[in-house]
Chain A
Amino acid sequence: MAGGSLVLSDSSTLSRLDASLYRLERIFALMSGLAVFSLMVLAVVSVSGRNFLGQPLPGYVDWIEQAMPLIAFMGVAYTQRDGGHIRMDILVGRLRGRVLWTAELITTLAILLLMVLMVWGTWAHFQRSFDFAAPLWSRDSSMDIALPIWPAKLLAPVAFSVLVLRLCLQVWGYCRAIATNAETPVAVPLIADAATQAAMEADAVSGLEEDKGA
């Protein structure tokens, strides 16, 4: 199983598009990370409000449920770009050159097919709760403090659309790799073997240890 991997870049249009999209994906992922942070802050406010002020945070659970789609969807393209969605690479890890890029192209096209259908399906789900004529444009609302739910539902098709863009770039990248028979193509995650990957993981973690100068 593999998680992290490497993406190379050069001066081609494809690579520049990759870099631009990556900036957007990073912002989206950071929003997701900040949402996790806000979960922590919400709980501290809620617990201390209940115990010290005798006043629980109104709609605590509603806010958590609103934050969850941010956390669950916003980073999806960022993770795909870096090859962070897990998979079994025991077979593709043994392939090289054009055979490898063809295999990657097929599975990437399969993901693209799924995500186009999911953008459609999640958009339909959003539309059912959105209505310009309704108060707060909302046909449904959360249990406790009646927050409109459509913004949270909208996050899924938005994040999935960015993933569709990312997949289109990766399809382009793999096609180019097949055409040029590149050993190390740009803009697509390269497979790192278990040892390299482990070393990367270890470096990341020990980087943290050294960062704080302990």
Chain B
Amino acid sequence: MEPIDIGLVVSGGLLVLVVLGMRVAFAAGLAGIIGLIWIFWAKKGMDPEDFGWAITVAAKTAGQVPHSKVSSQALSLIPTFILIGYLAYYAGLTKALFEAAKRWFAWVPGGLAVSTVFATAGFAAVSGASVATSAVFARIAIPEMLKIGYDKRFAAGVVAAGGTLASLIPPSAILVIYAIIVEQDVGKLLLAGFIPGAFSALVYGALIIILALTIKDFGPRVTGFTWRERFASLPPALPIVFVVVTIIFFVYNPFGGDAWGTPTEGGAIGAFVVFLMALYRGMRWPQLKDALLETAKLSVMIFTIIWGVLVYVRFLGFADLPGAFSDWITSLTLSPMLILICILLAYAVLGMFMDAIGMLLLTLPVVYPAVMALNGGEFVSAADSTFGMSGPMCAIWFGILVVKMAEFCLITPPIGLNCFVVAGVRDDLTVQDVFKGVTPFFIADGVTIALLVAFPSIVLWLPGLV
């Protein structure tokens, strides 16, 4: 058997293991190590005497991966961002944000819903976790919306959709993972998420205002806040601004001059500020211990997938499957843009059944090189490229697109997790209610993705400044 055939068979086997419900991290690792054994053994002509040798070499090859791949400064951003998210709950930032957003934005048509979207976007700045964001705001925002007569399905939809903003607005753990897997600059990717994330929030806001203007008794305005009340609501929400500004300044100094440090430092300083805020709000050792255990659990879950997938990637390298897939993609006679759209649609389908991180890690080692080849190669200049952007810029653009797709899947049936969470929090809502309420946002997301594809400069302007 040729290495490429072994690659295909083992990858098929991996798919079967994942569908059978094997933990994704270990399924990838096992596929990788079995593939390595097979390839080494095949090189020796499958001689039974050499089987022991093949296992030894494969185990030692795979054994280098966990330590050598996780000991990286860039990867330390992931646990730091996760810690910020857990500390943010103790810092009382969710209520502070909703209160501030309400006082500033509730006077527009559909005001409370608009405020909810902006508050979730703000909370996204300290939390990378979409599902948790939805859960928190389902408790805070839905009751207030129901009180002034919103349709309960729509109120639930706002919260479910708002939660998806978390993974683009920095700090975003999923963008760090993407950057590591495709070996691109972490700081630039984090910056690149900022405008599309804010843009998504604005599209949601605009959609709500349009709905409120066209549908009678949709969502009344809430007026009567004085300017004094408005300004009084700002200080408790300030740590959020601080975290975002710190991370941005540590990557890129908008006033010219050097960045203040590395993204790693920026993330950690941001975490420290939220930690101080949480201490001030009464967090003590028992709560901190819980936060640390939860952080450890989520971090190790992600790192296990990372090393598991990298064992598989090492095998893929020997089998040259990514190369073959790239050759096939570039040999297609379809227009490259159409191929890219097909890839994005494939992610939309896959995302309906798989968690975003697992999905990206499993597919990117094969899909990413193909997309780069489609654009003309990793080091292509903007002038010679298919999509009109240089190799590194294409990597950033594609990263933002796939992460947005993965988020999109959090609100699509059949298992859009955000919708389940909102229904789980509210006894008076079924999952079907939430899916119905989230439909307008579903369409809004489709529009946003189309705009990001059609006008890459929305994504690339900010990272282009660095």
Contact = CB atoms under 8 A, between A and B. Distances in A.
Interface of A: 1, 3, 26, 29-30, 32-34, 36-37, 39-44, 46-47, 50, 61, 64-69, 71-76, 78-80, 82, 84-93, 103-104, 106-107, 110-111, 113-115, 117-118, 120-125, 152-153, 155-156, 194-199, 201-202, 204-206, 208-209, 211-214
Q: Give the secondary structure class of A's interface.
A: helix
B272 A195 contact: no
B4 interface: no
Interface stretch (B222-230, B260-268, B372-380, B437-445): B260-268
Contacts of A122: 63, 66-67
A118 B29 contact: yes
B92 A214 contact: yes
Interface string B266-298: 011101100100100111000101111111111
Interface of B: 17-27, 29-30, 33, 55, 58-64, 66-68, 70-73, 75-76, 79-80, 82-83, 86, 89-90, 92, 94-95, 131-132, 135-136, 138-139, 260-261, 264-265, 267-269, 271-272, 275, 278, 281-283, 287, 289-301, 303-307, 353-355, 357-358, 415, 417, 420-421, 423-425, 431
B355 A1 contact: yes
Contact of B135 (A37, A64, A86, A202): A202
Given A198-B423, A208-B89, A209-B139, A73 B295 contact: no
A8 B8 CA distance: 40
A92 B18 CA distance: 11
Contact of A72 (B22, B70, B136, B261): B70
B139 A198 contact: no
Contacts of B265: 43, 46-47
Nearest to B289: A30
B300 A68 contact: no
A172 B304 CA distance: 24
A87 B18 contact: yes
A194 B420 contact: yes
14 contacts: A36-B80, A36-B296, A36-B299, A69-B67, A87-B23, A89-B21, A110-B26, A118-B29, A118-B62, A122-B63, A122-B67, A153-B67, A156-B66, A212-B90
Given A33-B292, A78-B300, 7 more contacts: A32-B296, A71-B76, A91-B19, A107-B23, A111-B30, A125-B68, A212-B283
Contacts of B21: 87-89, 91-93, 103-104, 107
B272 A40 contact: yes
Given A36-B299, A69-B67, A201 B131 contact: yes
Contacts of A212: 89-90, 92, 278, 281-283, 287
A206 B136 contact: yes
B23 A85 contact: yes
Contact of A73 (B23, B136, B303): B303
A195 B90 contact: no
A29 B294 CA distance: 9
B287 A211 contact: yes
